[in-house]
Amino acid sequence: MINRDRLVNSFLDMVRIDSLTRQERGMAGYLLKTLKEMGFEPYEDDTGAKIGGNAGNVICRVPGIPGKPALLLMAHMDTVAPGIGKKPVVDGDLIRSDGTTVLGGDDAAGIAVILETVRAIREDGLPHGDLYLVFTVAEEGGLFGARNLDISKIPADFAFIMDDEGPIATAAVKAPFYNRFKATFIGRAAHAGLEPEKGLNAILLASKALAELPHMGRIDEESTSNIGIINGGIARNIVSETCVVEGEVRSIHEDRLEKYTREILDHIRAVTEKMGGRVEIEVERMYPGYHLEETSPIIRILKDAAQKAGLPLNLHATGGGSDTNVINGYGIPAVDISVGMDRVHSTEERIRISDMERACRFLEAIIATALTYSR
């Protein structure tokens, strides 16, 4: 049986912990202590040192029936700003931010659901295969915890990441590939008042290139692009020598991602060189996309579990990225499952207790259903 009070208290304890990206020490300490008290042997990896953070991923194996499918249950420890001094407000079935910070349900709700579900199945003696609990750092803004995870130590057959929005039993089964790029436009510096004709303004180079980009915003039904950061110049009276622009391209289809990225960057180069400037471009594949077919075993598990839990299953595509992308890239079939979070990344963030309870029951049904599948 899911213990509502324990679930709520665990969630409230965690959202009160400051846990911004790369500053997850308090949350990691809480989870290590909690998992030890539950009778397990959790450990922390060295991701923190690799990414300039103060904590690593927290990993824990819950032993189960040998030979049965092993499951990876995953959520992330970090929250976005404003996230210092969070004060959750309990209002009946609703838990919300006090309006000055985010609530932090993204993704403390996912952690709380995993912890409560594991507690419940152990107390009730419900059979299960090996469970690997992984709580990552620095998911927000780069999926750095998942990207630095030593997956060789986590021999899971399927993965369920508790980090989605929407009604309970909603699962993201399709998500985009993601490229980010940085273009450094290089012109010539000169005194803006004495000899501006000797200069070549890098901000103007960037402006001209961006104004005529071949792709921006919604490119097609499953592809997008954006320019998110522009920074140039050092003083009003100096013709700017450099200007840095940062952007992204996303697509469910890898071939389209590469095509659109290439066309955007080729355009930037052509415009800049035509105006007599130079541009240095860096491109990084942040994470792979994934597309799980409805006939795949993990989707069949979801369907059977939803029926067992009495919940309508909602399979959808997302335009965002999550640890789910990285885990699929490692070769482990993974889906991103809703825990009921709402209005995330805002000071109006909220979540219903009853939704977290339903998320626990759905996860419990997933764990039980997985036993009936072959490895």
Binding region for Zn(2+): 345
Closest CA to 25 of 86, 76, 77, 60: 77
Instruction: Please give the angle made by the CA atoms of 11, 17 and 21, to the nearest 5 degrees.
Output: 110
- Set 45, 139, 157, 357: catalytic member: 139
Q: Which residues are annotated as a binding site?
A: 345
φ, ψ (nearest 5 deg) of residue 233: 85, 155
Structure-token pair, residue 126:
């419900």
Instruction: List the beta bridge partners of residue 190.
Output: 239
CA pair distance 28, 352, nearest whole angstrom: 25
Q: Are 153 and 72 in contact (CB under 8 A)?
A: no
- Set 78, 116, 157, 304: catalytic member: 78
| 107 flagged as catalytic | no
What is the torsional sign of CA 281, 287, 288, 289? negative
| 163 flagged as catalytic | no
For the chain, state the CA radius of gyration.
23
Q: What letter does residue 205 receive in the DSSP assignment?
A: H
Which residues have a catalytic role annotated? 78, 139
